């Protein structure tokens, strides 16, 4: 099964015509969403339970793991140990997993997380902590994809049962990661599309975050991505596709266009406001 979705459910006015959508409203258009809320702070369990109640049975969540788990942010200010942090995160997210609505946890590492013995050792710890749970890993440093390490990166991810996220982003020599079309988990695979804004990706001013994802995929580019997705469909049971190119509000229209190109017609979504009357 292929599901297409967006980062966040709130900001996509191209779906509803509103600047801020509810999750219920979002769930009338797309069957997948990436929740970044937990990255900035582990939410209350009641919030997780509310999210579950607002979406239909066929809906799935990609949950971006708390920044302390990916080595960003000072988790020591809130937790006594890494184990306490992980236990808290997994306990809060348990209702989503139990309800069968978790597509995967996404652990997105910064570019400073390079291919070293220390990094591999930490990935092994993650494997133990998240054992039995679906985890996608996004690596943002080229060293993991270099000629010397790529085969070993693939082998490690496969043995750990991590899904190495397939990333589309600007291609800058040895500075960004390639669109590596290699499946490391037969159960599920996560694609994340950041856009191809080369100049914006290199911005380092106060608005760099917005400039990075300021991009609209053309119909031709979406056709190309669709063919790559279709080619991998037999290698993995579930495919999740997240568009993160929303600085200019383009993600929603790109996601709906890709659904059309792939011939997807999600069933069992929430009713739209028009359907309610």
Flag whether pLDDT at 277 surpasses 50: no
Q: Distance between CA 81 and CA 87 in Å, rounded?
A: 10
When pLDDT is averaged across residues 191-204 and rounded to a whole number, the result is 87
Instruction: For residue 23, count CB atoms less than 10 angstroms from its CB and return exposed for 0-12, middle for 13-18, buried for 19 or more.
Output: buried
Mean per-residue pLDDT of the chain: 93
The residue count for the chain? 277
Flag whether pLDDT at 212 surpasses 90: no
Q: What is the pLDDT of residue 155?
A: 98
When pLDDT is averaged across residues 124-145 and rounded to a whole number, the result is 96
Helix residue ranges, H only, the chain: 13-16, 23-26, 37-40, 45-53, 82-98, 117-129, 150-160, 198-201, 208-212, 219-232, 251-262
What is the three-class DSSP state of 30?
A: coil
Whole-prediction pTM:
0.94
DSSP state of 18: -
Q: Scanning the structure block, which residue is given the tokens 């390490």?
A: 149
Distances in Å between the Cα of 43 and the Cα atoms of 38, 47, 65, 74, 260 are 6, 7, 11, 16, 34
Summarize pLDDT for 217-254 with one digit per residue, the tens.
999 999 999 999 999 999 999 999 999 999 888 999 99
Q: What is the pLDDT of residue 72?
A: 85
Summarize pLDDT for 151-181 with one digit per residue, the tens.
999 999 999 999 999 999 998 877 889 999 9
């Amino acid at each position: 099964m292929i599901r297409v979705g967006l980062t966040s459910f709130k900001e996509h006015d191209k779906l509803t015509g509103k600047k801020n959508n509810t999750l219920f409203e979002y769930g009338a258009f797309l069957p997948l969403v990436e929740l970044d809320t937990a990255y900035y702070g582990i939410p209350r369990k009641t919030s997780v339970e509310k999210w579950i109640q607002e979406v239909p049975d066929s809906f799935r969540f990609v949950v971006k793991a708390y920044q302390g788990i990916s080595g960003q942010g000072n988790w020591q200010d809130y937790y006594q140990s890494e184990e306490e942090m992980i236990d808290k995160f997994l306990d809060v997210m348990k209702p989503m997993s139990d309800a069968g609505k978790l597509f995967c946890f996404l652990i997105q590492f910064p570019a400073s997380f390079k291919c070293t013995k220390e990094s591999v050792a930490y990935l092994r710890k993650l494997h133990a902590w998240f054992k039995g749970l679906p985890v996608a890993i996004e690596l943002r440093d080229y060293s993991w994809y270099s000629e010397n390490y790529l085969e070993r990166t693939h082998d490690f991810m496969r043995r750990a049962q991590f899904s190495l996220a397939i990333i589309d982003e600007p291609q800058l020599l040895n500075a960004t990661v390639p669109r590596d079309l290699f499946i490391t988990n037969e159960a599920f695979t996560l694609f994340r599309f950041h856009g191809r804004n080369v100049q914006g990706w290199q911005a380092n001013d106060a608005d760099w975050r917005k400039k990075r994802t300021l991009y609209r995929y053309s119909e031709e580019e979406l056709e190309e991505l669709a063919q790559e997705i279709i080619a991998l469909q037999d290698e993995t049971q579930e495919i999740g596709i997240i568009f993160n190119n929303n600085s200019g509000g383009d993600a929603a229209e790109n996601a709906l266009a890709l659904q059309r190109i792939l011939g997807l017609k999600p069933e069992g979504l929430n009713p739209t406001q028009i359907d309610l009357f």
